[in-house]
Amino acid sequence: MRIGILSPINNSLYSRVLAWECIQEPGIDVVKVVVRKTLSLNRIRGEIKRDGARLLKKVYKKLVLGEETIQRGDSKSLFARAKFLNLPGKNLTELCAEKSIPLLKVGDHNDPWVVEAIREAKLDAVLFTGGGLIRKNLLEASRLGVINCHAGLLPNYRGMDVVEWPILNSKKGIKDIGLTLHIMDRGVDTGPILIKKAIEVQKGESFEDIRMHMGPQMVDLMMEGLRGLRDGKLEAHSQKKEDGRQYFVMHPRVKEAAEKNLNSKT
Amino acid sequence: MIKNLIFSPMIKLGIKILDDTVPTEKLHHFLDKGIQNISQTTQSSMDGFNEKDLKKIELAKNLNEFRKKPSFSPDINQFDFYIGDLEYEEVGDWIEVLPKKRVIGFKGFFPRTGEMMLWLIENKPNEYIRFFDSQIETLLRIIEIKKQKALVHNQTGYKQYLEPDRQLLSILLSRISRETKDIRFLNTALKMNDWSYPFYRRENTSPDLINYLLAVAEAEYSVKVLLS
């Protein structure tokens, strides 16, 4: 099975761990890795326009505090998984160089030459690990399409902050937290579902902890899906638009209420 | 360490500039003061204000008092929420001329959407329920995606309706949230109120301020009813 990986940045830990696990998996060939350039004026402008202060908070956490520093002490984090796997290289460039996998550094995943490169590679599937909207041409450039692991349970929880929204919405206990592997389509998390996995929130976990602990589970779900597709044992089930709701970034006041709910229920 | 020293202050400054969230205490203080000022103004002179404005001030005042109470039993009948004074035919005519039968698109919303949709939620005429339901999800989605850029008219020549429209839309979302218990609508109303805050924080008496005060009071009331 020939696959490609779309990554939001060169040192994304999620992309690196996933790429490494794919490389180790029999019957799966990583044929192409596509990384978005971090310092592209268009990208910065577009993301600031879309995410504003939220983007800078993310940059602050990743670049200044260091994503790996935050995860270092946590045995359930992606960092721990990377350490366990003895992940080579500091970024995808080094990892791909070591395994002789062609890597493209691009301004936008949707650039026509990128879509053409994916088409020419005759991929069975493209794994999406972040990096913005994916347009029709790229969605259709491989045999099975672009596969994404969404940090929420579909079809109910589409969109943003879908770890926080179910906790705010739940009256009793904590439910509807989980991951969904799906094939991306032109809608927001409306594509056919491959696998769903509920996640149990542990006592004392914060939203940040829940998200951090989702990291390795997202890799596992991607791998489970790939194996299923490789062996022809997995079928996609389409969603209806009206089956779920699209959620948006939480206002801090609403997030505060969700946090209270989380603390009172764990 | 060096990275921290160079980037940390720059990014923190950037966050401060880009973050448009108004701190809760600041918003509550603004609401208290704004209602007090505008009540005093209308008591001394009614120039520039009408009956509908007075009704809105009274409602904002009552909702704000309710917000300050330590405990509550939400009784929807304790306040007179009715602020629309349109005729049924006027609303029907407005719906008839909507481009593609949509109140909002990526280029903005149709003039008087706030006023008309509020009338629909207040009166709930059977024949327009389906229309109303079909519009609110799109309204929510486009405001969330386009943010302030969604809050412009998609037709020219209705400038006088623009500012009231924006505030009435926020009121509408707060009310939908209370009716449907769907907090996504309140989430967007809170954001809209934050976006408008810089334009009103130094205002004392304009009739447009009344709509904004009511929008903030309605959202704060919804926060109390739905989130506490």
Average pLDDT over residues A126-143: 95
Could you give the 3-state DSSP secondary structure of residue B96? helix
Q: Is the pLDDT of residue B70 over 80?
A: no
Which ipTM value was assigned to this complex? Answer: 0.91
> Taking CB atoms and an 8 Å limit, are B4 and A249 in contact across chains?
no
Q: What is the pLDDT of residues A114-134, one digit of tens each?
A: 999 999 999 999 999 998 899
Angstrom distances, CA of residue B20 to CA of B135, B143, B148, B184, B196: 27, 15, 11, 18, 10
Range ranked top by mean pLDDT from A170-174, B49-53, B84-88, B173-177? B173-177
Q: What is the pLDDT of residues A5-31, one digit of tens each?
A: 999 999 999 999 999 999 999 999 999
A30 touches A23 (CB < 8 A): yes
Give pTM, 2 decimals: 0.92
* A52 chain-B contacts, CB cut-off 8 A: 18-20
Q: Could you tell me the residue range of the domain that residue A68 belongs to?
A: 2-265
Nearest residue, CB atoms, B227 vs list A245, A249, A254? A254
- Distance, in Å, from the CA atom of A88 to the CA atom of A55, rounded to the nearest integer, reads 28
pLDDT, position B83: 79
Q: Is the pLDDT of residue B208 over 60?
A: yes
**Which phi and psi angles does A246 have, rounded to 5°?**
-95, 130
Angstrom distances, CA of residue B151 to CA of A249, B105, B146, B196, B197: 18, 10, 8, 11, 14
Q: Give the minimum alpha-carbon distance from B140 to chain A in angstroms, rounded to a whole number.
A: 9
Kindly give, in sequence order, each residue whose CB lies less than 8 Å from that of residue A150, ignoring residues fewer than 6 positions away.
A158, A162, A179, A180, A181, A182, A189
**B2, B7, B15, best to mutate vs chain A, most A CBs in 10 Å:** B15
- Distance, in Å, from the CA atom of A131 to the CA atom of A111, rounded to the nearest integer, reads 13
Residue carrying structure tokens 């401060």:
B16
Pairing of strands A178-183, A193-198: antiparallel
* A53 chain-B contacts, CB cut-off 8 A: 14-15, 18-21
A126 touches A134 (CB < 8 A): no
Nearest residue, CB atoms, B141 vs list A53, A246, A253? A246
pLDDT, position A139: 98
- Distance, in Å, from the CA atom of A173 to the CA atom of A13, rounded to the nearest integer, reads 32
Provide the CATH number for the domain around residue A88.
Answer: 3.40.50.170
Q: What is the pLDDT of residues A29-79, one digit of tens each?
A: 999 999 998 777 777 777 777 777 777 777 777 666 666 666 677 888 999
Count of all residues that appear for chain A in the document: 266
Q: Dig out the tokens for B101 from the structure.
A: 């039968």
Average pLDDT over residues A163-167: 96
- Distance, in Å, from the CA atom of B163 to the CA atom of B166, rounded to the nearest integer, reads 5
pLDDT, position A47: 77
Interface subset of B 169-228, CB within 8 angstroms of A: 182-184, 186-188, 190-191, 194, 223, 227-228
Q: What is the pLDDT of residues B109-119, one digit of tens each?
A: 999 999 999 99
Q: Is the pLDDT of residue A152 over 60?
A: yes
A58-62, A101-105, A215-219, B195-199: range with lowest mean pLDDT: A58-62
**In chain A, whose CA is at the least distance from the CA of B187?**
A251
Q: Give the minimum alpha-carbon distance from B147 to chain A in angstroms, rounded to a whole number.
A: 9
Q: What is the pLDDT of residues B134-159, one digit of tens each?
A: 999 999 999 999 999 999 999 988 88
Number of structural domains, chain A? 1
Average pLDDT over residues A79-104: 95
